[in-house]
Structure 1
Amino acid sequence: MRKTVFLAYLLVTIGNAFGQSSKVNLFIDSFVIKNNFNGTILLAKENSAWYKKSFGFANFRQQIPNTTDTRYKIASITKAFTAVLIFQLYEKGKIDLYKTINNYLPDYKGEAANKVTLLQLLNMTSGIHNMDADLTLESALKKGMPQYQLPHTTDEMLTLYSSGKLETEPGKVWDYNNADYIILGKIIERVTGKTFEENLQASILQPLEMANSGIAYQQKIIPRLADTYFYRDDIKALVNDLPAYMENWYASGAMYATADDILRFANALFGKKLLKQATLDLMFTSGLNEYGCGVWVYKDYEIHHRHYTIIKRPGSIMGAQAMLFHVLEKGATIIILSNAATTSLDEFAAKIAEQVVE
C-alpha cells in the first residue's frame, strides 16, 4: 500500500513538473521570438536548475551561437559580490559599517570623507555627486565616456570620479551611483592589503568553484565571453557596444560569469554559506527606493494575488544585460544573462516569475 501511495505521489510530482516545464518552455520561446532575446536563461528551485536554455549569438559577425557555457558580462550584479565582501569583513570585525570613509581611506579627498558611512555607500544614500549624472547615449556618441573609455587605474577612478562634492545630505536621498561601489572596492583593498580581484577569488569564486567567473579587462582575451551589442533607436539597428575599458567599472560592474556560476553564488548567498542570517537580514533590509545593500528588496511583491519577498539584482552596461531574481519564500531563482539589449529583463523576469510561482 505504501509503495502504491508513493508511486502515485511520484507520478503526480513528475506530471506537475513536466506540465510546468512545458508551460514555461512555451512561454519563454514565445517571449524570445517576440522580443528578439539573445542570451541564456536558467531557472532553479531549491538550489537545482530545472530549466536552462540559450538563444541567439555570442558573436553576430561569425554567427557563433550562445550556449549554456557562454560567459557574459554581468554588469551591476557585481555590486552584490562587492556587498558580500564588505559584509564578510564586517562579520570578521575588520570594518564598522557605521564608520565613515576616512576611517579606511584616510587619504580620500572627497567632501564625503568624514560624513558618509560604509552603510550609506552600500545602500546608495551617500549623497555623493553621481559619476554618470550627465552620461547619455547622445553625449557618449559626441564626446565619448571619459570615465570608461580612457584607461584608468582604480586609484584614478576613485580620485577622478568618486570623490565629488555632496549633492544631498548623507542617508536622506537614494541615488544609484557607481561611485559608491568604487569607494567600497578601494576600502576592501585597503583593509585586506589585497586587490579587489584577489579578495573576490579567495572569498567567493574559489570556495564556490566559480571557475567561469572573474573580472573582465580590455586587454584580456577571455575564452567564450560573449560580444555585446545594443539597439540604437536613432538608426533602428543593433550595433556593437561602444569601445570601453570594462575594468573601469571595477567593484561596481566589471565582472563576467556563466549562468551556472551565478546560480552557485545565489545558492550560497541564500543558503547562508557566505554570510550569517543576521548579516543577510541587514543586507536584505529594504530601504529607500526598496534598495537594500547591493540588491533591491521588494517585501510585498504580488504574484497571483499573493505576496512574496523578492531579492533582485539587475545589471546593465550597454548590451551587457543581466538579471538575478529570487523569490525568497519559494526558493525559486531566475537568472537571465544577455549580450544584446533588445528587451527589458525586468519585464522578462517578472513574467517568468508569474509562470513558475503557483
Structure 2
Amino acid sequence: MTHETSTSRTSRRSVLGLLGAAPIAAGLLTAGQPAQAEASASGSIPADLRPGGKLDRFVADRAGKDLFSGVLLVAHQGRPVLRRAYGMANKASSVPNRLDTRFDIASVTKTCTAVAVAQLAQQGKIAFHEKLGTYLQGFPAEIGQTVTVHQLLTHTSGVGRPAVGSQPPTRPEWDTVQKVWDGTAKAIRALPLQFTPGTQYRYSNDGFFLLGEIVATVSGRSYYDYVREHVFAPAGMTHSDFFTKAQVTAERTIARPYASQPSGSRVDFTTSDFFPFVGGPHRGAYSTATDLLAFARALWNGALLGPAYAELITTGKMIMPPSEQQGLTRQHLFYGYGFIDAIVGGRHVVGHSGSAAGAANYLDTYPGLDWVALVLSNYDTPIAPIVETARQIIIGSARPRAAAAS
C-alpha cells in the first residue's frame, strides 16, 4: 500500500481540482483536420505536446501505417491542447472517426462502477468491509460470508472466471438487457472460488459485475439507470451510455470495433456471435474523449465525490504483477478501487486501461501536474507505444519537485 504525507495528499486534491476550473472545448473535428492548441493558465505547453509536435507526429505515423484508428486527446488544466481523430468509425459506410465519436471504452467502465460504489459508501449505504452476502443473495457461505466489497474492488476476491483465457458468460438467447443481467448473475453464482479471498491479486471482470449488482440492490435503481443519473449526468457526459448490439450497429456516431485476425486482417466484431448484447459494470460503456475528460474533471472537482472519497478510490492498494500493463515504463504499479495507480518517473499516473476485441483505450490523469491524456481506439492493436510516448513527454516536461517547491 502506498503512503503519502498529509501535505502531499492535500496538494494532490487541490491541484487536481483545477481540472474543473476551466471549460472543455467541445471538439467536433473529423479525421485529418488540425487540432487546436490552447494556452495553459500556468504557463506554456511543451512543444512536443502541441499540434505538429512529437506526440502528434508519432500518432499520425502509426495511423498512417494502419496501426491506430481512433481519437487522441491531451488536456492541461481541463483545456484540450491536442485533439486528433484518425481512421474510420464504419469502414463499410465510409464514416470517419471524429472527436465526438463514441467508442467502447471496455474496462475503463470500471472507473464509473467504482465511483458509483463510493458514492453509496459516502452516503453510508455501502461499507467496504462488509461481506458480499450483506447485499446479495444466492452465494454459498464460503463466498457470501467471506468475500468483501474491498476485495471485489481490488480484484482480490477470487470470485468468477479468469479474466484471460475464458469467454465471459454469454448466450445467444440473451437478447434483452434483463436476460443478460439475470443470466450473467446466475452464471457467476455457479462458479467456485479461484483462490482464497484476500490472498492474491487476480483481475476479475465478474467481481466488478457483482459490484454493479450491489449498486442496483442498494440504490433501488437498475445499475444502468444509476450510472446514467449519478455518474454520467453530474459529470456532464452527455454522449455516454450503454448501448445494445442493435444500437451499436445502427448508430453512425458509434465506432464499430475492428478485431484483429490471425491472418493480419481486421473484421467488424459486431458480426461475431461473441459480441455482447449489452455491456455492464465490468466493461462495455460507450463514451467520447470529451466526455471522459469531463469525467476526470468531475472526479476531482466534487461533482461526483467528496475529496476524501475521490482520493480513496484512486490511491493504490494492491500491488499489480509485472505482467500487467506491458509496454509501459513505471517504477511501481498498484490497483486502487477501480483505478490503476502507477508511479512513473516519481509521479503518480492514475486512470485505467480498457481492451477487448476491436477496442483499446487508456485514461491517464496526472496528480500534481494537471494533465489528462486519453487514447480511444476501435482497433485492438496495442496502444502502449502512444501512451508511453505521452507519459514520457508529460513527466519529462515537469519541473523537479525540489525546484517546484522552491
Could you say which TM-score interval applies, normalised by the shorter chain?
0.7 to 0.9
Displacement, 1:133? Answer: 5.2
Greater Cα offset, 286-295 or 29-38: 29-38
Displacement, 1:237? Answer: 1.2
Q: Deviations over 1:239-297 (max 9, x none)?
A: 22134453554110120011100110011113333122221232123113111111111
**2:299 is equivalent to residue 269 of structure 1:** yes
RMSD: 2.4
Percent identity of the aligned residues? 25
**2:261 is equivalent to residue 238 of structure 1:** no
Cα separation, 2, equivalents of 1:351 and 1:150 = 44
Residue in structure 1 matched with residue 213 of structure 2 by the alignment? 186
Residue in structure 2 matched with residue 3 of structure 1 by the alignment? none
C-alpha change, 1:15 and 1:158, in structure 2 (3 Å) is closer
The residue identity in structure 2 corresponding to 1:252 is: H
The answer on whether the counterparts of 1:148 and 1:249 sit within 8 Å (CA) in structure 2 is no
The residue identity in structure 1 corresponding to 2:127 is: D
C-alpha change, 1:200 and 1:29, in structure 2 (3 Å) is same
Greater Cα offset, 330-339 or 248-257: 248-257
The answer on whether the counterparts of 2:153 and 2:207 sit within 8 Å (CA) in structure 1 is yes
The residue identity in structure 1 corresponding to 2:68 is: F
Q: Deviations over 1:184-219 (max 9, x none)?
A: 111111111110111011101112221210002123
Residue in structure 1 matched with residue 195 of structure 2 by the alignment? 168
Give 1:34-53 correspondences, 5 Å limit: 34=65, 36-53=67-84
Displacement, 1:135? Answer: 2.2
The answer on whether the counterparts of 1:322 and 1:336 sit within 8 Å (CA) in structure 2 is yes
Q: Deviations over 1:65-94 (max 9, x none)?
A: 111111111111110000000000000001
1:251 to 276, 281, 285: 281
Cα separation, 2, equivalents of 1:177 and 1:188 = 17
SS in 1 for 2:336: coil
C-alpha change, 1:257 and 1:164, in structure 2 (3 Å) is same
The residue identity in structure 2 corresponding to 1:91 is: Q
Give 1:48-63 correspondences, 5 Å limit: 48-63=79-94
C-alpha change, 1:72 and 1:37, in structure 2 (3 Å) is same
SS in 1 for 2:246: coil
C-alpha change, 1:181 and 1:219, in structure 2 (3 Å) is same
Please state which structure has a larger fraction of its residues in strand.
1
Q: Deviations over 1:113-165 (max 9, x none)?
A: 111001100010001242545427xxxxxxxx652655143122011135521
Q: Which 5+ residue runs of structure 1 have no aligned equivalent?
A: 1-9, 137-144
Residue in structure 2 matched with residue 330 of structure 1 by the alignment? 369
The answer on whether the counterparts of 2:170 and 2:183 sit within 8 Å (CA) in structure 1 is no
Please state which structure has a larger fraction of its residues in helix.
1
Q: Which 5+ residue runs of structure 2 have no aligned equivalent?
A: 1-38, 321-333, 398-406
The residue identity in structure 2 corresponding to 1:317 is: A
Residue in structure 1 matched with residue 129 of structure 2 by the alignment? 98
The residue identity in structure 2 corresponding to 1:213 is: S
Residue in structure 2 matched with residue 147 of structure 1 by the alignment? 170
2:339 to 295, 299, 304: 295
The answer on whether the counterparts of 1:128 and 1:163 sit within 8 Å (CA) in structure 2 is no
SS in 2 for 1:147: coil
1:283 to 304, 313, 323: 313
SS in 2 for 1:206: helix
The residue identity in structure 2 corresponding to 1:355 is: I
The answer on whether the counterparts of 1:111 and 1:165 sit within 8 Å (CA) in structure 2 is no
The residue identity in structure 2 corresponding to 1:205 is: F
**2:355 is equivalent to residue 311 of structure 1:** no
The residue identity in structure 1 corresponding to 2:113 is: T
Residue in structure 2 matched with residue 350 of structure 1 by the alignment? 388
